[in-house]
Structure 1
Amino acid sequence: MLLFTASSGLGGLLTDGREFLAAVRLGRPAALWLLALLPLLALLNRYAARRRRAALAGVGRPAALTGQLTHPRPRRRWAGLTYPLAWLLLVVGLAGPRWGESDEPGVAVGRDTVIVIDLSRSMLAEDMADPGAKSRWEAARSGALDLLAAMERRGGHRVGVVLFAARPKLVCPLTTDYKHARAVLRAVNGRFPPPECRPGPEADATSGTRFGAALVAAVAAHDPRFVGAQDIVLISDGDDPEESDREWVRGANAARTANVPVHTVGVGNPGQPTVPDLGPDAVEPFSTKLEEGEDKPLKLIAGETQGEYVAARTGPPRLGEFFLNCIEGHKLRTVVGDDQVPQPKERYPWLLAPALALFFVGWLRGR
């Protein structure tokens, strides 16, 4: 009975530990790369220790020299961990750990990003190199989830999702509820797009890929209060059968007027056309490839709106890295008021103070 109680208590402790680690957010996760210097510092310390022993051996036997010391210091192996542990705490503290809720009035800072995913028939083509996401729409979904993970890591950013083919549909308004946004993205299925995205009775629904309508919907999903802190990320293969009608211009103009950059992400093989598997009901098979020429919609839209073109091609779209390097550092949305989002509390003093204390102990030990 006692053993069962002890094991149950240990299991609860491990569960609490996992929940705590899941709640920790790092403001500067790139600082963790400094931990890679720890093995190098250990090698330098070992080399310096060998040099000291060699120098003592040149003077006389180490045991005899130790006996001549007035106050010989006892050997404490644990003391050798002071510097490594201090370095570990220092680096983690510099990474900006945050958890819990701050006692200060909440101020939400971040950017608003609307993710637009193309679910037209050409996105069914299976020409991607990732075995877990062979089709273009699966790669687009994977890239969107990677982008969402990067936004969640810092917190404060808002994300929205628009799906489109012949028509657009806003499936997730701007939110900081990353669990909900993740559930929405995971439910995306290119073989069964929302009925609202399929061709309708509208006269302008002449193509199954309407970039302009999708961008207009994405611009409308943004909050007009935060101009300059907004982005649209469009993930597509750029293949529009009715490209000659330049329907995309309407969306690019709407984004430029609203001062919202559109970052376009090209997925698919640009050199080898692929015939999508449209299922048994398909009567018009066709071939498709990634259209990323200078005169094609993806690059034209990015250029017209001051955005970036990301050539993912057949590789996995690394949109989390793109967000951290090209989006997050720009102007942030700031909200103070009733709709503010509670921010996690900075906890770096809890780590930096012990780190400095351990460095001091190590210095005293080496005197």
Structure 2
Amino acid sequence: MFRFENPEYLYLFIAMPFLVALYIYLNIRKRNDVKRLGVLSTVKRMMPELSLKRSYLKFWLIFAALCAGIFMIARPQFGTKVETVEKEGIELVIAIDVSNSMLARDVTPDRLSRAKQILSRIIDVRKNDKVALIVFAGEAYVQMPLTSDTQSAKLFLNTIDPSLVPVQGTAIAEAIRLGMNSFSGDQDVDKAMIIITDGEDHEGNANEAARQASEAGIMVNVLGIGSVEGTPVPESEYSNNFRTDSEGRVVVSRLNEQMAQEIAQNGKGLYVQADNSNTAIRALESELNELETKKSATLTYSEYDEKFPLFAWILLIILIVEFLIYDKKNPLFKNIRLFR
């Protein structure tokens, strides 16, 4: 795949035909001025050192150099670049609740969107860690296995919505157990989980799962999202209508803060409530920074490889050639007749 990183500079090519037109115009004027001195063939014999063809060639070399320069600053990119990068971090599994109650709007813009914003920030900060993503509602699924390519994790954020898990509920215990199986077997690196949930319709056994994770050396942190007071649950992400129960009453979702605190306590981790500030993120960052890191060399893939150095070399070579060509005939090469 080929692209330009800064395609806006390609608009400079619009000026190139005007540059050619200006050059042609100036040459016509120059010829007319010479004709005033006499017949053109006679004037040429009077100035044997002058070479018009050299002048033309120098212009087209400058023209080609400008074109190469435009391509260079537009940053052409092509193919895939593979690098071996040494990182020093922990292993981190992030499990995010995607149940319908996460559409509630007691945080801006809604619980799920705010959770994704926090998740994106955590991934940016923990860029040296190996990260895995799990989504859960009534069931839990691995959205992305453990990887050091944290930027790929951000790509998965756009696909996270309640439709990923059709079975409703909040199966935190299943998410924790799935997270435990998502870590590597490396005993020399610290491991942590972050559970992002409102705890609504909690199905139990999460405390025991968190205790088992802690005993296995995995710290379980819980990020509670939503308000204790609660708010109605919209029918969909963009709907202003609210869900109702079988008796027609509006469904109100509340953050189960006590449950979230118990899970974090059993998992030897931190509980923090998310709001519209970055307080929760900073608290989690501080907690994760206490863990011991390990160096590891991993392959990272970038979708595009920079090709502008090729055009930089072309530009340099053209300018050197242009500099070496005199406007007049060079006496050192008087016997070499490239320009007649």
Q: TM-score, normalised by structure 1?
A: 0.55
**Cα pair 2:98 2:112 within 8 Å, conserved:** yes
- SS class of match (2:126): helix
Corresponding residue for residue 118 of structure 2? 143
What is the deviation of 1:122?
Answer: 1.5
What is the deviation of 1:12?
Answer: 2.3
- SS class of match (1:341): strand
1:168 aligns with 2:140: yes
Match of 1:248 among 176, 188, 206: 206
Corresponding residue for residue 313 of structure 1? 275
Corresponding residue for residue 150 of structure 2? 178
- SS class of match (1:149): helix
Q: What RMSD over aligned residues (CA atoms) do the two structures have, in Å?
A: 3.2
Q: Distance in 1 between matches of 2:74 and 2:138?
A: 50
Q: Distance in 1 between matches of 2:271 and 2:158?
A: 24
Corresponding residue for residue 29 of structure 2? none
**Cα pair 1:108 1:342 within 8 Å, conserved:** no
Match of 1:288 among 246, 253, 257: 253
What is the deviation of 1:215?
Answer: 0.8
Q: Distance in 1 between matches of 2:260 and 2:219?
A: 13
Q: Distance in 1 between matches of 2:104 and 2:112?
A: 8
How many residues are aligned here? 230
Q: Distance in 1 between matches of 2:198 and 2:243?
A: 20
Identity %: 21
Residues 4 and 109 (structure 1 numbering): CA distance in 2 closer, same or farther, change over 3 Å?
A: same
Corresponding residue for residue 36 of structure 1? none
Gaps of 5+ in 1: 24-99, 200-207, 344-367
Higher fraction of strand: 2
What is the deviation of 1:261?
Answer: 0.7
1:226 aligns with 2:187: yes
Gaps of 5+ in 2: 1-15, 17-61, 301-340
**Cα pair 1:160 1:175 within 8 Å, conserved:** yes
Match of 1:209 among 170, 176, 194: 170
Corresponding residue for residue 297 of structure 1? 259
- SS class of match (1:160): strand
Corresponding residue for residue 131 of structure 2? 159
Match of 2:100 among 96, 104, 121: 121
Deviations 1:168-203 (A, max 9, x none): 00111100122321111221123x2234xx15xxxx
Deviations 1:135-184 (A, max 9, x none): 101111111111111122xx3x1000000001100111100122321111
Corresponding residue for residue 72 of structure 2? 12
What is the deviation of 1:342?
Answer: 5.7
**Cα pair 1:117 1:235 within 8 Å, conserved:** yes
Match of 2:222 among 264, 268, 284: 264
Q: Distance in 2 between matches of 1:176 and 1:241?
A: 31
